[in-house]
Structure 1
Amino acid sequence: MTKTSHHFDADYVAVLREVLDIAVEQIAAEHRTPATKAKMAETIVRTAAAGETDARALVSHAVAAGAEGAP
Structure 2
Amino acid sequence: MLALRLPEELEQRLAALAQETGRSKSFYAREAIAAYIDDLEDVYLAERRIEDLRAGRSHTIPLSEVMAEYDLDD
Q: TM-score, normalised by structure 2?
A: 0.29
| TM-score, L = length of structure 1 | 0.29
Greater fraction of residues in helix = 2
Higher RCO (CA < 8 A, seq sep 6+)? 1
